[in-house]
Amino acid sequence: MNLIVVHKLSNQPSQDAHSLLKLAFTCRPVTDVVVKRLSEWNTLRPDDFLVAVPGEWKRADNGNNRRILFYNDKAAVPSIWSSFREKTWYVVSNGRFLVSADTRLLSKTVERLGCDVVAVNIDPNLRAGSEKVHTDSKCNLLGFRLLYADTIQPVPIPSDWPHYLFINSRVANLLFSDKIFSDAFGEFINRCKSCSATIVSIGMGGTSLDLNTEEGLLSMLPSGSSKKPGRNGSNGDSVPAAARLFGEVLFGRNVDVDENTIITGPSVLCDSVKAADGAIIQSSIIGPDVSIPAGAVVRNRVITDSTQILQQPIESSSAGFSELRADTLYSGSFRTWPKLSYARCVKRIADVIVALIVLVIFMPFVPVIAVIIKLSSRGPVFYKGIRQGLQGRPFACYKFRTMQVGAHRLQDELQDYNEADGPQFVITDDPRMSRVGRFLRETYIDEIPQFFAVLLGQMSVVGPRPSPESENVRCPFWRDARLSVKPGVTGLWQVCRTRKRMRDFQEWIHYDVEYVRNLSPALDLWICLKTFLKMLKNFVRQFQ
């Protein structure tokens, strides 16, 4: 049996109260995840281990895991060793660390040493593939050594409990006749000396994760992500219906999640967690009784107390563009037109007329839409994005906001679910989108503010979709074509695309280039007609 002992970090309760190590072994469902990962990593004896946790950490709801036992300062050791007294070696692991090493090499080395006690610390610098620098006493370089295999070397006896402690059965009862591992490691060494037990310390190449750090504890979460959201409650608990989930998310008891809260896995929400409207939780562990305020973004964090959460400012997508000139964003021209041509003269006149008509018709509805957006979700009414216009000139493109505040922060986290095959980002039933925003986008009402850009001459009614520089740099030929004309509120790609999987980007390039090549009054009128019919169809469908 491998006994994994979790030692108290401090004798001062104030320092121990919110330790991540305590969270790992006392708060469900985090404890279930940690124990499962210990079983997967515990290559010494994967099916034969117990985790000993300080007795003062025990609560009414965390004492049911069969792998966990609670000890106090006077806990009797024989009852713990009784099930494996016939073994030659007792293996005691430090529960603070999740370690992985070549167990066959380690076991052979321990047997060969022939000592009563062997302390083992796992050192990543001794892993195969590591490179060591050798110097003399004056720090002059002597050479480099590449480790082709995991290395074991003697090291000084550590000052704290090592990753592994191998104890020969013939001295175990002498060393632990009245106490389990509640003392400091120095006292254990003194006990070894008083019993004349021989002890040696070695370092070995391997991997080590500290569970009392955010990085280490977050590494315990499942690394794989499911295409479908997971709604798993510990011990069959109910999961909030309002939660908008992506990936594997585990819930404790009495979790209260408001509407429009987005949670991406792998994440764990412990008992009595509260997440207010519009909060975003990404790949994080939220401890018990923690309240996430409205609009807060918690990303790759372990939160044990509500005071740890700081409201993070929304990053501006326009940063850095103000100092760039157009000629630094654009390298050529796919096509040009004379000043009095349709593309440069007549089309501009038509744009102004159409924009004025649309804005006059919809202006009475703008205040109503603004109020609905404000009431339905936290954040501004309008979304502002920096896009490239004619010859790559940047301009501010406004739309009615359809997504939650901070949605752009989630794009990297959700790349595994991206259904587009190019620089676009498309997800069916995007969890970042608000309910009102979904209606606005389906009916194209969110595009109305773009007609102000049409009046200013930054956009056209018909043209390629306005894109940021990050998308245009992917394909120079396509970029030069689409930046030869002003971007449009609607376009050929918008009305002709099929949305077939792994073809959307190819269709986008094809239709944008075709539009620039064949730009004409007849083509623009046809696109406007198709757009109107599509808008009407989508609008009616919302009420069916």
* Third-level CATH fold of 2-213: Spore Coat Polysaccharide Biosynthesis Protein SpsA; Chain A (3.90.550)
Task: Reply yes or no on whether the pLDDT at 70 is more than 60.
Answer: yes
Which pLDDT does position 203 carry in this prediction?
94
CA distance 280 to 89: 49
Pull the structure tokens for residue 323.
Answer: 């100092």
- The pLDDT of residue 256 is 87
What is the pLDDT, as a whole number, of residue 469? Answer: 80
The pLDDT tens digits of the residues spanning 210-243 come to 988 888 888 888 754 433 344 444 444 455 566 6
What's the pLDDT score for residue 542? 77
Please tell me the pTM assigned to this model: 0.56
Assign residue 388 a region: left if phi > 0, alpha if psi is -120 to 50, beta otherwise? beta
- Residues 363 and 426 sit within 8 Å (Cβ to Cβ): no
- Is the backbone peptide bond immediately before 154 cis, with ω within 30 degrees of 0? no
168-192 pLDDT, tens digit each: 888 877 776 555 565 678 888 888 8
Q: Is a pLDDT exceeding 50 seen at residue 1?
A: yes
77 pLDDT more than 90: no
CA dist 229 → 27, 225, 254, 433 (Å): 23, 9, 20, 16
Cβ contacts of 438 within 8 Å, gap of 6 or more: 402
> What φ, ψ does residue 194 adopt, rounded to 5°?
-70, -25
Find the farthest-apart pair of alpha carbons in the chain and give their distance in angstroms, rounded: 102
What is the number of other CB atoms lying within 10 angstroms of the CB of residue 174?
14
pLDDT value for 320: 35
- What's the pLDDT score for residue 379? 85
**pLDDT tens for each residue of 276-324:** 887 888 889 998 889 988 888 888 889 888 777 654 443 333 333 333 3
Supply the pLDDT for residue 278: 79
**Residue-level pLDDT at 17:** 47
pLDDT at 242: 62
Give the separation between CA 119 and CA 87, rounded to whole angstroms.
18
Cβ–Cβ under 8 Å, residues 363 and 452: no
pLDDT digits (tens, 9 = 90+) for 384-417: 889 988 888 889 999 998 888 777 777 767 766 7
Categorize the per-residue pLDDT at 527 as very low, low, confident or very high, splitting at 50, 70 and 90.
very high
- Residues in Cβ contact with 11 at an 8 Å cutoff, skipping those fewer than 6 apart: none
Domains 2-213 and 232-308 share a fold: no
Which pLDDT score is estimated for 145?
A: 67
- pLDDT for 153 beyond 70: yes
The pLDDT score that the predictor gives to residue 64 is 67
Return the CATH superfamily for domain 232-308. Hexapeptide repeat proteins (2.160.10.10)
Residue 370 clears pLDDT 50, i.e. is over it: yes
**Amino acid at residue number 429:** D
Higher pLDDT, 144 or 217: 217
Residue 3, SS3? strand
Q: Domain-by-domain residue ranges, the chain? A: 2-213, 232-308, 326-541
Task: Tell me how far apart the alpha carbons of residues 303 and 281 are, in angstroms, rounded to a whole number.
Answer: 11
The answer to whether the beta carbons of residues 1 and 50 sit under 8 Å apart is: yes
What pLDDT score does 78 carry? 43
pLDDT at 233: 45
Does residue 48 have a pLDDT over 70?
Answer: no
Q: What is the pLDDT of residue 59?
A: 72
The chain-wide mean pLDDT, for the chain, equals 78
Q: Per-residue pLDDT averaged across 198-212, rounded?
A: 91
Q: How much of the chain exceeds pLDDT 90, in percent?
A: 19
Cβ(135)–Cβ(143) under 8 Å? Answer: no
Backbone angles phi, psi at 118, to 5 degrees: -125, 120
CA–CA dist 481, 513 (Å, integer): 6
What pLDDT shows up at residue 459? 94
How confident is residue 202, by pLDDT bands cut at 50, 70 and 90?
A: very high
pLDDT at 263 > cutoff 80: yes
